[in-house]
Amino acid sequence: MKRAILAALGLASSFTLPASAEDIKVGLLLPFSGVYAALGNDIETGFNLALEHFGGETDATFEILKEDTEVKPPVALGKAKKLILQDKVDVMAGIVSSGVLGAVRDLVHGANVPLIVANAGNDEATGANCSPFITRMSFSNGQVNRPMGKWLHDQGIGKVFTLAPDYAAGRQMIDGFVSTFAKAGGKIVGQEFTPFQKTQDFGPYLAKAKASGADAVFVFYAGGEAISFVKQYDSFGLKSDLPLYGSGFLTSPLYVNAEGPAAEGVITALHYVPTIESPANETFAQAFEAKTGRVPSEFAVQGYDAARALIEASKTGANDRETLANALRQVSFEGPRGKLSIDPATNNIVQPIYVYETVMGENGLTQKVLAQLSAEADPANGCEMAPVSK
Amino acid sequence: MAHDLGFWTLQTLNALQLSMLLFLLSIGLTVIFGLMHFVNLAHGSLYALGAYFAASLAAVGGYWMGFFLAPVAVAGIGILLYSGFIKRMRKSGPMAQVLVTFGLIFALLDLTRIFWGDLALAIEVPSALAGRLDFLGVEYPAYRLFIIVLGVAIFGLLAFVLGRTQIGAMIRAGVDNDAMAACLGINVERMFFVVFCVGCALAGLAGAVAAPLLSVTPDMGLHVLIPTLIVIVIGGLGSLKGAIAGSLIYGFVQTFGAVLAPQLASVLIYALLAAVLVIKPVGLFPARG
Amino acid sequence: MFRHNALRYAVLVALSLAALFQALTAEYFGLEILTEILILAVLVLALDMVAGFGGQVSLCHGALMGVGAYVYALVSAKAGIAPPVAMASAVAVTGVIAWVIGAICSRSHGIYFIMATLAFGQMAYAYVFEAPVFGGDDGLSGISRLDLSLFGIDLDDSRSFALFCLAVAGAVYGASVMTLQSGLGRSLTGVMHNEQRMRALGLTVWRVKADVFGLSGMIAGLAGVLAAQHVMYISPGLLSWTVSGEALVVVILGGLGTLVGPLIGAAAFVLLKHEISAWTDHWHLVVGVVLIAVVMSGANGIFGWAEARWGGWLERRMADATRKHEQEEVVSDA
């Protein structure tokens, strides 16, 4: 592979490797072209940063093989097969879109290759379709939004109108919120699912939301759709009468600057915010900014923690597919997001959720953390997981 | 679902706004086709370029600089495309043209990624148009009203130029029969060139106008191409009347479809298109019978 | 009408041998690429049949392939019906849909035909994307391959599956040649060259167009079944209009209306894409430029160009021979 990068990186120059060092082959499966290219680049940058920061803690060295999924499931599956069958990687990491994860799930499960998911959040991957070989270091769609339901109701909001793109992730994000919001006593007065990646003008839906008599609007949008949505929401003047809440991807640092003042005052919940005050986050955020000139996004931290998890697993002496899979399921550490661990019942990450408001700071828009909601494991959702072997 | 009059006024304005944006895009494409029998699938890419130019220029000199200069810049790209490819492809069949411009879509998509990166850009609405206006009893964003007014103004201007001026008469003669027009002493080649550039400039203008409303991403050209093609096929290739009719049909079907039958909204427009093609294979108002 | 000539036979034999050699010797990724080429080859054979011999430049063949893939997936994975039956129903359903599209579009020509087929393709795409039964953007997984264990063949093995696709592609090539050489195929080419005259001769033009389009759709549906079995997972992206556009690109790259050319085009396209994407993320740019260059060169693709050169060489040799002969005659006269 021409793009193979020997990523002994930081440690190679500082001291000589012990002769017994294990070489672990890592297949990095990310989109570097297509709509999610920006996400793929952020995850990769985060991944490499963690190898630099923590690579010295383990005896193992990592050889990274990078493949572009183009966000197309068939392409991604072909690349995954290549990594597993031809390059014989010991572990894979990455995967941005849920579609791609759905496509490669059976392959990695059948081939017994551990996969560290660094973004894709579909609930089934750590639910009905869970696998002892798939460990998710990012989030699940329901997990990010569930804590927000109760929190929003506690703020005195009784009636909500929801909006999201019409695809599985959009529905799961909204379902996660609705389940806890309704349980807390809230009422959903209207729900719309807009054609995914086909909707450019949200005007018709915004008019519906306005006419619904809701106290607030809760939405999930990401990427270009998030930018259009937030700007159009503001341009209709809805923000003052009908405050906008949502899943934190709506105002991700990756594109909040493109949203501009329209994003001010929007309150959302996410598993990472670049302004979390902790030494681990400061180290990470500063290093990321030094490298890219940008504030780290949740995608960057997912890449960072995915590599960190791999290093932690290798520290236990794990060095092949089976031992790595087993070790990955037991990692826990204090990262930029706070205390992280893996739920042995589903292999999904357990992490705190941050409610934050987008506010105008000295250097443009920034995130003000309003609340840290405690970590909760996802319900098993039909997952029957093989137990961890000690 | 009971909605008051204001709700429907609001949705009508939404539909009009979408229609006018599509009109700006489709008019260039349809007139280029009518006059030159040339199908430019890369028209959507020119729209994306317009948005990118506007975003870059707005960062330097504010919104209006982008608004006025982005169409000029896109027309400049149009000149390059014309002299590089289009002129030579004029006599080829529609398939060769479709393919060359399909190749251009690929190439321009990646060029925008190389120059502007993968991250979405955005422009702020100019302060003069930032607020909302009371209009027919509803509060509507001023910028959206501006788009509607701009669309209507461009339509009026084109209707006047095409219908009442000598240049318009020459263009219509060219659409009807370019060989005959050439015999009558009209410099058809030069006319083609000018019309092509104006078409490109209008696509660029549409991009610049849409940028503050949406986000500026590399694939925005690809997303807008299909709606634009639907508009001109429904309306009939080559005519101003067809472009405005097609745009209005698309805008209203899409907007009210989203309100009344959200599950069917996207299939509805294709079904309508198929119906038009079955009943009138050349569209509702083709330039030539 | 389609005719084989020496060059076509030679290239066909060379291609088959190369594919067979690759299928028997390649390691994993080589087999993957070969299978990808063969599936694309089946699709572009279907497209060349209508575009190259009937002038029906379709921009919905990607969608037809997707329909085949989805019908197969629904019938086999969701309804749990045996793969052979699922395959047959996928091919049949796609054929019927294609026949209807062909019948409706038979009155449209040139750019209108392109646009009309595009519209139908997008309609299918939008429907599959939105209807919950198709799994939306997340697609459908758990698709199984044909079970040939009865014959001692395990299609889950990449090498067997590549050989299976090669056999299917060969059969489809044979079927396409037979169709084009039949009365139906000849009528179609007649319609392409002069529709008025064929009508005057008493031919039901729309029926001919619809029938061939339906047959072509069946082949595209078969390509879809293969694609679904190959990846064992499908998503709506399969029906996107850019897939149709790429198929058209492959036909043009290889040589329109030559059947052999599109096969070369399929191989060239897939190899080019893999080679370029290995060293840059901007492979679209390179593919776009190559496409523009090929079309603007005025040659009928790679194979068309080769055939023209070969034809020229053949002609010159014939001319030389006649000239020599004439000279001899002159000498003997004197």
pLDDT of residue A311: 94
pLDDT of residue C329: 56
Which carries the bigger pLDDT value, residue C80 or residue C328? C80
Residue of A200, A206, A233, A250 to mutate when probing chain B, most B C-beta within 10 A: A200
Q: How many residues does chain B have?
A: 289
pLDDT of residue A234: 92
Name C293's Cβ contacts closer than 8 Å, sequence gap at least 6.
Answer: none
Q: Which of A45-49, A125-129, B141-145, C71-75 has the lowest mean pLDDT?
A: A125-129
Which residue in B288, B15, B13, B26 sits closest to B142, CA to CA? B13
> Would the CB atoms of B223 and A236 count as touching at under 8 Å?
no
> Would the CB atoms of A1 and C278 count as touching at under 8 Å?
yes
pLDDT of residue A136: 95
Contacts of residue C125 in chain A, CB cutoff 8 Å? none
pLDDT of residue A20: 43
> Would the CB atoms of C249 and B88 count as touching at under 8 Å?
no
Q: Which of A269-273, B49-53, C250-254 has the lowest mean pLDDT?
A: C250-254
> Would the CB atoms of B121 and A258 count as touching at under 8 Å?
yes
Tell me the mean pLDDT in the region B216-234.
87
pLDDT above 80: residue B287: no
> Would the CB atoms of B106 and C284 count as touching at under 8 Å?
yes
> Would the CB atoms of C57 and B95 count as touching at under 8 Å?
yes
Size of interface A-B (CB pairs under 8 A): 101
* The two structure tokens encoding residue A374: 């405690």
Contacts of residue B212 in chain A, CB cutoff 8 Å? 231
Nearest by CB: A77 against C136, C231, C283: C231
Read off the pLDDT band of B289 (50, 70, 90): very low
Cβ of residue A37 closer than 8 Å to a chain B Cβ:
yes
What range does the domain containing C36 cover? 6-239
Q: Is residue C116 part of a domain?
A: yes
Tell me the mean pLDDT in the region C127-142.
79
Cα-based angle B198, B199, B200 (whole degrees, multiple of 5): 90
What's the burial of A309, exposed, middle or buried (CB within 10 Å: 0-12/13-18/19+)? Answer: buried
pLDDT of residue C331: 54
> Would the CB atoms of A224 and B122 count as touching at under 8 Å?
no
CA distance C155 to A162: 47
Contact of B147 with B17, CB cutoff 8 Å:
yes
Q: Burial code of B110-128, b = ≥16 C-beta within 10 A, e = fewer?
A: bbbbeebebbbbbbebbee
> Which B residues, 143 through 162, put their C-beta within 8 Å of a C-beta on chain A?
143-144
pLDDT of residue C171: 95
> Would the CB atoms of B103 and C289 count as touching at under 8 Å?
yes
Cβ of residue A41 closer than 8 Å to a chain B Cβ:
yes
Cβ of residue C193 closer than 8 Å to a chain B Cβ:
no
| A298: Cα within 13 Å, side-chain hemisphere | 27
Q: What mean pLDDT, rounded, does chain B reach?
A: 87
Per-residue pLDDT tens over the stretch C269-281? 998 888 887 777 7
Cβ of residue B111 closer than 8 Å to a chain A Cβ:
no
Tell me the mean pLDDT in the region C151-157.
81
Q: How many residues does chain A have?
A: 390
Cβ of residue C233 closer than 8 Å to a chain A Cβ:
yes
Show the domains of chain A with their CATH numbers: 5-139+276-350 (3.40.50.2300), 142-270+353-373 (3.40.50.2300)
Q: Which of A337-341, B122-126, B150-154, C165-169 has the lowest mean pLDDT?
A: B122-126
Domain total of chain C: 1
pLDDT of residue C262: 93
CA distance A202 to A212: 15
CA distance A69 to A76: 4
CA distance A48 to A308: 10
Return the CATH architecture of domain B5-279: Orthogonal Bundle (1.10)
% of residues, chain B, pLDDT over 90: 38
Measured between CA atoms, the residue of chain C closest to residue A85 is C28
Residue entry with tokens 């019927």: C96
% of residues, chain B, pLDDT over 70: 98
Q: Is residue C313 part of a domain?
A: no
> Would the CB atoms of A86 and C28 count as touching at under 8 Å?
yes
Q: Which residue ranges of chain A lie beneath pLDDT 50? A: 1-20
Q: Is residue C136 part of a domain?
A: yes
Contact of B118 with A37, CB cutoff 8 Å:
yes
CA distance A380 to C28: 36
Tell me the mean pLDDT in the region C251-257.
88
Nearest by CB: C139 against A32, A103, A198: A103
State the chains in contact with B (3 or more Cβ–Cβ pairs under 8 Å). A, C
pLDDT of residue A349: 94
> Would the CB atoms of B277 and C104 count as touching at under 8 Å?
yes
Q: Is the dihedral of CA A343, A346, A349, A351 positive or negative?
A: negative
pLDDT above 70: residue C87: yes
Read off the pLDDT band of B246 (50, 70, 90): very high
Cα B164 to Cα A20, B121, B156, C170, C261: the distances in Å are 87, 41, 11, 62, 52
Measured between CA atoms, the residue of chain C closest to residue A74 is C231
Per-residue pLDDT tens over the stretch C157-178? 888 999 999 999 999 999 999 9
> Which A residues, 75 through 114, put their C-beta within 8 Å of a C-beta on chain C?
77-78, 81-82, 85-86, 98-99, 102-103, 105-106
> Would the CB atoms of A103 and C231 count as touching at under 8 Å?
yes
pLDDT of residue C190: 86
pLDDT of residue A158: 93
% of residues, chain C, pLDDT over 90: 35
Contacts of residue C115 in chain B, CB cutoff 8 Å? 229, 233, 277
What ipTM, to 2 d.p.? 0.86
Domain boundaries, chain B: 5-279
Cβ of residue A35 closer than 8 Å to a chain B Cβ:
yes
Which residue in A287, A75, B277 sits closest to C277, CA to CA? A75
Name A355's Cβ contacts closer than 8 Å, sequence gap at least 6.
Answer: A147, A148, A151, A267, A268, A269, A369, A370, A371, A372, A373
Residue entry with tokens 């080419």: C189
> Which A residues, 240 through 269, put their C-beta within 8 Å of a C-beta on chain B?
254-255, 257-261
Which carries the bigger pLDDT value, residue C137 or residue A27? A27
Residue entry with tokens 């959903």: A188
Q: How many residues does chain C have?
A: 334
> Would the CB atoms of B113 and C120 count as touching at under 8 Å?
no
Which one-letter DSSP state was computed for residue B216? B
Which carries the bigger pLDDT value, residue B31 or residue A42? A42
CA distance C290 to C249: 10
Give the helix/strand (H/E) hosting B70.
helix B63-81
Cβ of residue A207 closer than 8 Å to a chain B Cβ:
yes
Contacts of residue B33 in chain C, CB cutoff 8 Å? 111
Q: What is the 3-state secondary structure (H, E, C) of A59-117?
A: CCEEEEEEEECCCCHHHHHHHHHHHHHHCCCCEEEECCCHHHHHHHHHHHHHHCCCEEE
Cβ of residue C292 closer than 8 Å to a chain B Cβ:
yes
